[in-house]
């Protein structure tokens, strides 16, 4: 079947539409979903197609997350919409002390098929409380899976996999990428299994390890570097937990150099975990230290010049690559 | 009378079972055979049994850190409960949970919770699930007077009310939240007044009168099954033991405890009612206590003889799709 | 009348200022000169001005994502506000906050908040601080009908009530929470009924009648200053603009909006009262609007001429002890 | 002035007593504080010494944390007791979206002197919801400082520094270490500035970088290793943010080998950040990969054999050291 070009937002809606048609136990719960098909229009067509299965809630993040947990424990496959990823702070107990631990604490008696959809990321001048990328908190929480797609096809393929997965999955999708278009396979069984990274650009000189919005920074940087004769390989991790370390290792065995790129702030971000594993598991393969490119360690400021300064840019990736290549 | 003889005697036996289970747990904890810390519900059997006597096996219950009684009243297996308290591989949770984390999803027990009020958001999900699946199940959540001041309680009661979810919010007001008196933590006399904030019926009953609890619960369950929405039920009772076993209890006068123990014991009170109504005799009562003790001894024996989990089992069961 | 002529005219001028500030903000946002997104309080001036007219400069106010009016009514500087909306270095927060994060601690404004209901736990801290410092300040928190269903509201109102904190909980029920009608998200007609759950006085008033708001607020403030504890005040009003500028508003009938705009405009209503009581004439009124517009033009001019912050300034001011 | 031997708990109480005597704006807020001087007896003597300044709250973590924020913004220096660190999930918004961001968001208008005291750690058979070590979440939250003391003297010296600091400080103290005794200087002005690590055992062969309960694992391991002729240097980081990278670097320049040890689970833990920085900043100094010793990536199980298996042990540290030394 031939690909179609569609936006990440449309790819999400299509994936959800296919899954909800297939399985009546799937429903979506969150604030302000029906009026405009989600506050970003991300659920376009779903309220009409699935009346009663796209459910508006009061502003009650703890209970929204808790409803997801309780419904998942009693035969449903809920998807909860967190409105802005920044507000996971308001349902943190339900996510990290309940959803993440219930199956394990109770000796594996139950499965908890829950998808927590979190629109995240900066660049919209939305300031400190509406711009965060918080995936690292959940990577550090055993019991949760963490998915951060970049391209439209990944959004669709990973959402379908997340929905079919029997464990709680944190699904982070960047707000600034909703309108970004890409090729999406038409095959309704097109699924990207959790835990599989993709080498999206081949290169022999350096491995750019990234996910989410960082992927596009890496593509631009790779272009730039190409002009200067540096061939960067771009690995889109797609799933942070489970992590596809094999693909990462294969790339580094080829390039012997790695730069990790993400939008979350540097200190304690996912790049730390990945860099730590790479140097531990591939020490003798490395010709240079693993460098990280990430947002600076401050809340996201409102004013454009400052927000742009805080966020990672392709030039930062280029700089890091040169630092690891010219030694 | 809100039930036939058979039901009433079964309720009495269950109350005795809860009482003796908790007594046993206290003893084995003191003897160092139960690790961690445990919270006992002695003196609150009227609530656990009165409430659960109105439920079907397919109804849901979410309980608390003080949940042994709720579990037993909902029909949990004593052997697997004791084994879990002992941290044995044969326990409900294969030793992963312990006293604060027991569940039996096969009979609708969605689990105890180490997070105070943790059960309320979760029960809303169960209630919503019932509504979406269009069954006539009901979902019950137990929580304490202390828990009632946490934010998720507000969110859950509001959501249940706007969607008419088949939920009964059972607050067990045992006067104390750890070292904190209920009267300090909340400016209300009757916690059922909180129901008004959600346009939800709220009832307060003598929680040590198992039949009063059952009566109120029957009405709440009937409403819920008919799709008429949630109810808040306050069972006024008293925490006879310390907050946890080993609690020094400097914060309260033991005389207060004794009065409740001696003058207002829910098990004794129910026995008197049954005797008065000639449904129970001293002899029959003793037979029940003996039978319960025998059953418990067997459960303890089972737990003692059961193996501890292998250390590596700690790595099992985290993900369903590993 | 709850105030002398001077006060009343000052209140009217403030209402006009809020109205014109918001109108200006909407225009510059539409013109692409204000980054991010903004939430306007047009039609809610009765609440912001009625409430803040009862406060002293040393009283505290915590506001919301829709906080421009509250800030202005509490005495914020227009120049620095506009500059902040424009993201300029001369803004209240040096461009770090924007519309949703403005504060002026020098006049007790503890800040707008991008987290709905985020101000309530914080205002409890301010109230507790007042009590510990033994001053007669009061603390006010504004929140919306949508916010009222969040858990922290419950925790904060309960804590304020058991400690008799000098807090006024002002819920601005403007009928809508983003796309969600208040009647959907909560089963109560009057949100002030929530006060009962904390044994706290609760009053609902016509929020578009600035004098009614002021009257109710004066009583609440008097109680608080005397140490008699918190009050909940519900100002019934209406959100005339979309939730945010640019909101398609498919969820509501514009006729509903028009009725409120035309038949129940708090600024126009107050003007009529003042005219009726011969405290205001058409001429005087026009003079006020003109003066306000001139002041606003100057503020906009100031903002336009102000520089953007240097990119590196993003790294400043995170820690007090770096 | 001569040292005294006292427990970590007594050291905490002494530090608090001194600071509260010095500064009337300090108060402690939390659940069940007055009846037993804190549920671990950690505030022994304070309720009597400072009536009205040790305040019992209802069970309302969001509001407890929020009260700390609001009081700190209005002239007080609050200390909030989180009862068990596991419940930070219930005040996560107040900690990470409010306390951490307020000063920055508002352009530096205010200071926010708040100490959040969190008793953490496992080993008490308290199971999944009462045993966590969550410091890494806060290290990844710009605006918060993070302190994790190990010995009694550190507890006192760092608590006094945290109280005098004008920024929000997350202070994690291990429940299993309350009774552990150590030397504590008598000098009432004994303070350990935030951001200073301590080399607590000198060694030339390997650097053990640790904090909190991990410190004692490292001491035991160093003992063991000493018998086999491996001299381990033990660096107690004490403060994770700000981090004393100079002391870490100096030690590694000497030993050229490093093992990081903490009780929090491995993936996404603080060890990841530290390992990532070390290999990036000291690449040419390293003769072996930086290894991490931490809890296994599962919630803490209840049953003793399983809990013991999940937690890091001195033998694990010894094993990691040998892995980095014998290459
Ligand atoms: C969110 C949270 N805060 C605090 C605690 C610690 N804690 C456990 S039980 C308890 C008291 C609970 O009181 P109540 O709700 O009345 O239940 P009871 O113990 O009386 O049955 C507290 C404070 C917790 N487990 N979870
Ligand atoms: C905790 C949280 N949840 C959701 C949001 C997104 N949000 C911003 S404003 C808003 C509606 C608020 O409605 P209301 O409280 O009535 O205030 P109003 O906008 O009507 O002034 C929502 C859902 C948020 N900012 N914070
Ligand atoms: Mg209680
Ligand atoms: Mg509203």
For residue B42, the ligand closest to its alpha carbon is: 1
Segment C313-320 shows an average pLDDT of: 98
Across the interface, do C101 and D71 touch by the CB < 8 Å criterion? no
Residues A32-90 pLDDT 10s? 999 999 999 999 999 999 999 999 999 999 999 999 999 999 999 999 999 999 999 99
User: What pLDDT sits at residue D36?
Assistant: 97
Answer yes or no: are the C-beta atoms of A68 and B126 closer than 8 Å.
no
How is residue D120 written in tokens?
């953490």
Answer yes or no: are the C-beta atoms of D196 and D238 closer than 8 Å.
yes
Q: For ligand 2, say whether the CB of C115 is within 6 Å of any of its atoms.
A: yes
Burial (CB < 10 A; 0-12, 13-18, 19+), residue A323, is: middle
Query: Is residue A17 flagged as an active site residue?
Result: no
Q: How far is B227 from chain A (nearest CA, A)?
A: 16
- Evaluate the omega torsion of the peptide bond into residue A242 and state whether it is cis, within 30 degrees of 0: yes
Please state, for a pLDDT cut of 70, what percent of chain C lies above it. 99
Answer yes or no: are the C-beta atoms of B73 and B18 closer than 8 Å.
yes
DSSP string across C184-211: HH-S-S-GGGGGGGGT--EEEEETT-HH
Cβ neighbour number for residue B215 with a 10 Å cutoff: 18
Residues A59-75 pLDDT 10s? 999 999 999 999 999 99
User: What pLDDT sits at residue A2?
Assistant: 63
Q: How far is C4 from chain D (nearest CA, A)?
A: 32
Q: How confident is the model at residue B321 (pLDDT cuts 50, 70, 90)?
A: very high
End-to-end CA distance of chain A: 47
pLDDT above 90 (res D1): no
Task: Out of A38, A59, A91, A119, give the residue to mutate to test ligand 2, the one with the largest number of ligand atoms within 8 Å of its CB.
Answer: A59
Name residues whose C-beta falls within 8 Å of residue B183's C-beta, 6 or more positions apart in sequence. B175
Of the residues A52, A80, A107, A169, the best mutation for testing chain B's interface (the one with the most B CB atoms within 10 Å of its CB) is A107
For residue C42, the ligand closest to its alpha carbon is: 2
Q: For ligand 2, say whether the CB of C44 is within 6 Å of any of its atoms.
A: no
Which residues are near ligand 1 (CB < 6 Å)?
B 39, 65-66, 114-116, 144-147, 174, 176-178, 239, 243; D 31, 59, 61, 83, 87, 90
Cα–Cα distance, B191 to B176 (Å, whole number) = 13
Cα–Cα distance, D327 to D312 (Å, whole number) = 23
Q: Scan residues 205-264 of A and list those with Cβ closer than 8 Å to D.
A: 241, 264
Residues C77-111 pLDDT 10s? 999 999 999 999 999 999 999 999 999 999 999 99
User: What pLDDT sits at residue A326?
Assistant: 82
Chains that touch B (3 or more CB pairs under 8 A): A, C, D
Q: How confident is the model at residue B1 (pLDDT cuts 50, 70, 90)?
A: low
Of the residues C98, C174, C243, C317, the best mutation for testing chain A's interface (the one with the most A CB atoms within 10 Å of its CB) is C98
Residues B80-129 pLDDT 10s? 999 999 999 999 999 999 999 999 999 999 999 999 999 999 999 999 99
Residues A232-290 pLDDT 10s? 999 999 999 999 999 999 999 999 999 999 999 999 999 999 999 999 999 999 999 99
Q: For ligand 2, say whether the CB of C81 is within 6 Å of any of its atoms.
A: no
Residues C178-204 pLDDT 10s? 999 999 999 999 999 999 999 999 999
The answer, for C250 touching chain A at a CB cutoff of 8 Å, is yes
Distance A80 CA to ligand 4 centre (A): 22
Answer yes or no: are the C-beta atoms of A53 and A16 closer than 8 Å.
no
Backbone angles phi and psi of D290, in degrees to 5 = -80, 120
Residue with tokens 């959100």, as numbered in its chain? C239
Distance B119 CA to ligand 3 centre (A): 15
Give C-chain residues touching B196 at CB under 8 angstroms: 193, 196-197
Q: How many CA atoms lie within 13 A of B127 on its CB side?
A: 36
Q: How confident is the model at residue A10 (pLDDT cuts 50, 70, 90)?
A: very high
Give C-chain residues touching B194 at CB under 8 angstroms: 197
User: What pLDDT sits at residue A3?
Assistant: 77
User: What pLDDT sits at residue D327?
Assistant: 66
Chains that touch C (3 or more CB pairs under 8 A): A, B, D
Q: How confident is the model at residue D2 (pLDDT cuts 50, 70, 90)?
A: low
Distance B239 CA to ligand 1 centre (A): 13
Chains that touch D (3 or more CB pairs under 8 A): A, B, C
Distance C236 CA to ligand 4 centre (A): 10
User: What pLDDT sits at residue A149?
Assistant: 98
How is residue B245 written in tokens?
């076993």
pLDDT above 90 (res D75): yes
Collapsed DSSP state (helix, strand, coil) of residue A273: helix
User: What pLDDT sits at residue B171?
Assistant: 98
Query: Is residue A285 flagged as an active site residue?
Result: no
Distance B145 CA to ligand 3 centre (A): 5
Q: For ligand 2, say whether the CB of C239 is within 6 Å of any of its atoms.
A: yes
Residues D179-210 pLDDT 10s? 999 999 999 999 999 999 999 999 999 999 99
Answer yes or no: are the C-beta atoms of A59 and A53 closer than 8 Å.
no
Across the interface, do C151 and D62 touch by the CB < 8 Å criterion? yes
The answer, for D126 touching chain A at a CB cutoff of 8 Å, is no
Residues A162-208 pLDDT 10s? 999 999 999 999 999 999 999 999 999 999 999 999 999 999 999 99
Catalytic residues of D: 61, 130
Answer yes or no: are the C-beta atoms of A235 and D241 closer than 8 Å.
no
Collapsed DSSP state (helix, strand, coil) of residue D136: helix
Of the residues B164, B197, B229, the best mutation for testing chain C's interface (the one with the most C CB atoms within 10 Å of its CB) is B197
Residues C205-219 pLDDT 10s? 999 999 999 999 999
Cα–Cα distance, C111 to C123 (Å, whole number) = 10
Segment D159-186 shows an average pLDDT of: 98
Cβ neighbour number for residue D40 with a 10 Å cutoff: 18
Give B-chain residues touching A60 at CB under 8 angstroms: 155, 158-159
Across the interface, do A87 and C115 touch by the CB < 8 Å criterion? yes
Residues B143-191 pLDDT 10s? 999 999 999 999 999 999 999 999 999 999 999 999 999 999 999 999 9
Residues D307-320 pLDDT 10s? 999 999 999 999 99
Cα–Cα distance, A173 to A43 (Å, whole number) = 13
Q: Which helix (H) or strand (E) holds C320?
A: none
Task: With both helix axes pointing from N to C terminus, report the angle between C119-133 and C151-162 in degrees, rounded to the nearest 10.
Answer: 20
* Sign of the torsion formed by the C-alpha atoms of A21, A24, A29 and A34: positive
Residues D293-310 pLDDT 10s? 999 999 999 999 999 999
Answer yes or no: are the C-beta atoms of D256 and D227 closer than 8 Å.
no
The answer, for C32 touching chain A at a CB cutoff of 8 Å, is no
User: What pLDDT sits at residue A123?
Assistant: 97
pLDDT above 60 (res C242): yes
Across the interface, do D127 and B150 touch by the CB < 8 Å criterion? no
How is residue A106 written in tokens?
């109770």
Burial (CB < 10 A; 0-12, 13-18, 19+), residue C307, is: exposed
User: What pLDDT sits at residue D326?
Assistant: 82
Please state, for a pLDDT cut of 90, what percent of chain A lies above it. 98
Across the interface, do A107 and B94 touch by the CB < 8 Å criterion? yes
Q: How confident is the model at residue C316 (pLDDT cuts 50, 70, 90)?
A: very high
pLDDT above 70 (res C1): no
The answer, for D92 touching chain C at a CB cutoff of 8 Å, is no
Cα separations in angstroms, A91 against A65, A144, A307: 6, 14, 27
The DSSP call for residue B198 is G
User: Closest Cα partner for D90 from D122, D123, D57?
Assistant: D57
Q: Which helix (H) or strand (E) holds B220?
A: helix B210-225
| Ligand 2 nearest atom to the CA of residue C145, by list position | 16
Distance B242 CA to ligand 3 centre (A): 11
């Amino acid at each position: 079947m031939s690909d179609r070009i569609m936006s990440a937002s449309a790819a999400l809606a299509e994936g959800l539409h296919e899954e909800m048609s297939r399985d009546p136990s799937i429903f979506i719960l969150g604030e302000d979903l029906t009026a405009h098909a989600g506050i970003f229009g991300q659920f376009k067509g779903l309220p009409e197609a699935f009346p009663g299965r796209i459910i508006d809630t009061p502003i009650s993040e703890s209970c929204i997350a808790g409803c997801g947990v309780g419904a998942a424990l009693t035969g449903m496959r809920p998807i909860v919409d967190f409105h802005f990823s920044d507000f996971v702070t308001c349902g943190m107990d339900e996510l990290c002390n309940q959803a993440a631990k219930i199956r394990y604490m109770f000796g594996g008696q139950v499965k908890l098929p829950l998808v927590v959809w979190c629109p995240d990321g900066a660049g919209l001048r939305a300031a400190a409380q509406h711009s965060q990328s918080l995936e690292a908190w959940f990577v550090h929480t055993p019991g949760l899976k963490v998915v951060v797609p970049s391209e439209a096809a990944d959004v669709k393929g990973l959402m379908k996999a997340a929905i079919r997965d029997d464990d709680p999955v944190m699904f982070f999708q960047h707000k600034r990428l909703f309108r970004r278009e890409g090729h999406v396979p038409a095959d309704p069984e097109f699924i990207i299994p959790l835990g599989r990274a993709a080498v999206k650009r081949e290169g022999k000189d350096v491995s750019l390890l990234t996910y989410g919005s960082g992927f596009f920074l890496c593509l631009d940087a790779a272009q730039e570097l190409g002009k200067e004769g540096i061939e960067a390989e771009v690995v889109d991790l797609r799933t942070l937990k489970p992590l596809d370390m094999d693909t990462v290792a294969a790339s580094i065995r080829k390039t012997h150099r790695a730069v990790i790129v993400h939008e979350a702030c540097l200190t304690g971000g996912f790049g730390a975990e990945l860099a730590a594993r790479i140097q531990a598991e591939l020490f003798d393969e490395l010709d240079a230290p693993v460098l990280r490119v990430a947002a600076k360690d401050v809340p996201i400021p409102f004013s454009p010049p400052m927000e742009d300064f805080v966020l990672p840019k392709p030039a930062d990736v280029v700089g890091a690559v040169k630092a690891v290549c010219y030694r | 009378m809100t039930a036939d003889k058979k039901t009433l005697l079964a309720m009495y036996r269950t109350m005795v079972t809860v009482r003796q289970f908790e007594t046993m747990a206290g003893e084995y904890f003191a003897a160092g055979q139960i690790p961690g810390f445990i919270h006992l519900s002695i003196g609150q059997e009227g609530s656990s049994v009165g409430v659960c006597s109105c439920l079907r096996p397919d109804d849901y219950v979410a309980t608390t850190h003080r949940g042994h009684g709720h579990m037993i009243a909902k029909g949990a297996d004593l052997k697997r409960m004791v084994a879990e308290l002992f941290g044995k591989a044969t326990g409900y949770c294969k030793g992963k949970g312990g006293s604060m984390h027991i569940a039996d999803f096969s009979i609708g027990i969605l689990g105890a919770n180490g997070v105070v009020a943790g059960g309320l958001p979760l029960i809303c999900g169960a209630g919503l699930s019932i509504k979406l699946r269009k069954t006539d199940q009901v979902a019950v959540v137990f929580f304490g007077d202390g828990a009632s001041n946490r934010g998720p309680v507000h969110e859950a009661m509001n959501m249940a009310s706007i969607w008419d979810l088949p939920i009964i919010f059972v607050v067990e007001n045992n006067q104390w939240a750890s070292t904190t008196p209920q009267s300090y933590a909340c400016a209300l006399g009757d916690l059922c007044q909180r129901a008004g904030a959600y346009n939800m019926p709220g009832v307060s009953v003598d929680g040590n009168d198992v039949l009063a609890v059952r009566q109120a619960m029957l009405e709440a369950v009937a409403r819920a099954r008919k799709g008429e929405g949630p109810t808040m039920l306050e069972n006024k009772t008293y925490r006879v033991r310390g907050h946890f076993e080993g609690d020094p209890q400097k914060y309260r006068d033991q005389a207060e405890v004794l009065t409740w123990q001696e003058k207002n014991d829910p098990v004794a009170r129910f026995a008197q009612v049954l005797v008065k109504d000639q449904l129970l005799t001293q002899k029959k009562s003793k037979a029940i206590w003996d039978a319960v003790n025998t059953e418990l001894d067997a459960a303890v024996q089972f737990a003692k003889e059961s193996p501890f989990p292998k250390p590596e089992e700690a790595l099992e069961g985290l993900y369903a799709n590993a």
